Amino acid sequence: MSDKKNNKPANSSKSPKARVTKPLRRPSSKATSDGKHDKAGNKTRSGKLGRLGKNKAASDGAYTSVKNRKKVAFNKASGASSRGGVETDKNRFRTIWGLAIFVLVLLLGRAYYLQVANAQFYQAKGDELITSVRTQKSYRGMITDRNQQPLAVSAPLATVSFSPHDYAREYYELKRIIAANPDSPKTQARMQKRLDEMDLNRLAAAANVPVAELQKAVALKDNIDYTDEDAVKAALPSGAGSHYFPLLTKVTPEIAQSVSSLDFVGVYEKNFFQRYYPQPQPNAQLLGFMGQNSSDPEGGYEGRAGIERQYESTLSGEDGQVLVLKDAKQNSLKEIKQIKPEVAGQDLALTIDSRLQYILYKELEEAGRLHEARWATGMVVDVQTGEVLALSTWPSFNSNNLNEMTGENQRNRAVLDVFEPGSVMKPFTVAAALDSGLYSPNSLIDTNPGYIRVKGYTIRDHDNYGVINFSTLLQKSSNVASTKIALSLPPDGISKMQKEFGFGKKTALKFPGEGVGIVATPKEKETSRRATISYGYGLQVTLAQIAQAYSTLAAGGVEHPLTLVKDDDKSSQSRRIMAHDKAMSLVNMLETVTEPGGTATAAAIDGYRVAGKTGTARRINPEGGYYTDQYRNTFAGMVPASNPRLVGVVLVEDPRGLHYAGLTAAPVFHNVMKEALRLYNVPLDKPLKTKE
């Protein structure tokens, strides 16, 4: 279209639809007619700019119509646009998606760590918030005597307590809910019903506790703002007794049920087993006692002495574990499952006869009180089996009340204490003489003039017995004759025989803390020691070792290891120590001790032949030497002597007044063994005395 057709000015008053096609300025004269080359023949940019060239011209001041301006407004942006080009958008796109993928990978990694790699740990953490593991105490095995009479039993007991703190916390919480819901009558009615169920009069009546004490313990305050958390916290009970108010202590589960069945807020019940001893004093040192286990978080108990400790693993069993669901206040709601079943402890049957045990203890107590002794102890053994039928010590304590226990009365002295035995060792001196081949049962020993000098020491008899045989040696308890035998044998002749009979080592009882004793082997030049050990000085033994040795003699020279547990697998088997004929000849010699003229006529039992030996030894003075007015009395014997069935040993420590064993320990043997023969229906082996 020609530029000459319309040459009117742009500010004409005509309609805006009028088209202006002629620019105000002419194009540059440098431009060529085709817009492609200049005068020098160089190619211009006009051919490539196209619309861009036109738009640029317009922006440089060329007048353009409204129509043309609209076309410019809707033209596509190019790389020169201020909003960016394709490359910039592509980089932004990649960055955003890269960040998104990175975050996604982090989330997936975290999810894998929580739900797969470490799932068990976090699952356990979650379970801790809503569950807990409760220990189920196993039933401790019962200890019985040989006749299945209970000596130690576990009685189920319960303790019911009340937590004023938990009660008050629940009370204030219900009050808060009521105050916070004035527009909800149903909620208020429901909370008020729960408050009514928390009436302390109900709890006081069931537990037989004054309601005033409960009200004082909870100390409820009705003048506080229940919606103020700090005010409620300050009002809660604190200090001693705020979490534990005993209602019922160590009662039977049936009695505890009367309170726990109320399902009262803040009431808790703890069940446990209490050890009970039906025959406490006679068996206290033998059975031992229970003590708290410091390593048990549940505060469990374990055997701390005696049989309870020795057979702890057998009696205790294994505790079980139960998974319990808890509420937000850590109260147990219900048992979910049993994690580990409880294993009840095994019952333990002892060889002890509770009837004979009681008789022994009462006789020891009577003798101890009568003679004002420090203590007294004794044992009764079955010769044929080595089973201990009775083992007791006076003074004792009530094992159901450990407040009576002291360091002295809890010792099982027959097994734990070692001492110089005195003349009860003379039968083993005679045994060594017979075993040496240098002597026979009819050999004679000259004890004139009633004493003997050894290394500057004078060893005396009570009288000058002259020339005596072995029976008289034992009957009169001759120290001089025992010394002459010892000096005629090799240096280890006596001590070797003593060790053969079990002295100087623990018995098969394996009792906790059992004494070992000392039996030294004298050297050739130690003539004084060789002499003293022949009559029971210069060595240390336990009463259990004496019982074992005399049982071996009574069994014809065969040692049956002592045992306290019925049908127990013995680690050591029976063995022969001495020839049968020599052992029985020695038993016959010991029979003269209880006959007229012997040192223990008080031990004789009508209708039975009794063999035994007394031992009266001076007590050692800690400051050196021996006391001149303190003695230890021992008697060991067997019945019936014709075919020994029972052995009894008795020790009375430091009796006042009478200090000979034949007057203090022998009567105890008589009284105990007389009842034992009756209980076991042992036939008579001697005519009964006729009454004059």
Strand partners, 276: 153
Give DSSP secondary structure letters for 185-218.
HHHHHHHHHHHHHT-HHHHHHHHT--HHHHHHHH
- Residue 629 to residues 303, 457, 479, 656, 659: CA-CA distances in angstroms? 40, 20, 20, 9, 9
- Residue for token pair 């500010």: 11
Helix (H) or strand (E) holding 663: helix 661-679
399 included as an active-site residue: no
Strand 348-349 and strand 143-144: the pairing is: parallel
Q: Distance (Å, rounded) from C-alpha 107 to C-alpha 452?
A: 103
CA 214, 217, 221, 227: dihedral to nearest 10 degrees?
-100
| Residue in this structure with the two tokens 């105000």, named with its chain if needed | 24
CA count, 13 A, side-chain hemisphere, 183: 0
Longest dimension (CA), the chain: 184
- φ, ψ of residue 56 to 5 degrees: the values are -65, -40
Contact 414, 544 (CB under 8 A): yes
DSSP symbol at 220: -
Distances (CA, A) of 420 to 189, 436, 606, 619: 84, 25, 32, 8
CA distance 518 to 538: 9
Give Cα separations from 308 to 143, 190, 213, 409 (angstroms): 9, 54, 41, 17
Q: Rounded CA gap, 120 and 470, in Å?
A: 82
Exposed e or buried b for every residue in 255-274, given b needs 16+ CB within 10 A?
ebeebbeeebbbbbbeebbe
Which residue out of 138, 392, 423, 477 is catalytically annotated?
Answer: 423
Q: Are 318 and 113 in contact (CB under 8 A)?
A: no
Q: Determine the distance from the C-alpha atom of residue 219 to the mean position of all C-alpha atoms in its chain, rounded to a whole number.
A: 39
Q: Where are the alpha helices (DSSP H) in 501-541?
A: 527-532
Q: What are the catalytic residues? A: 423
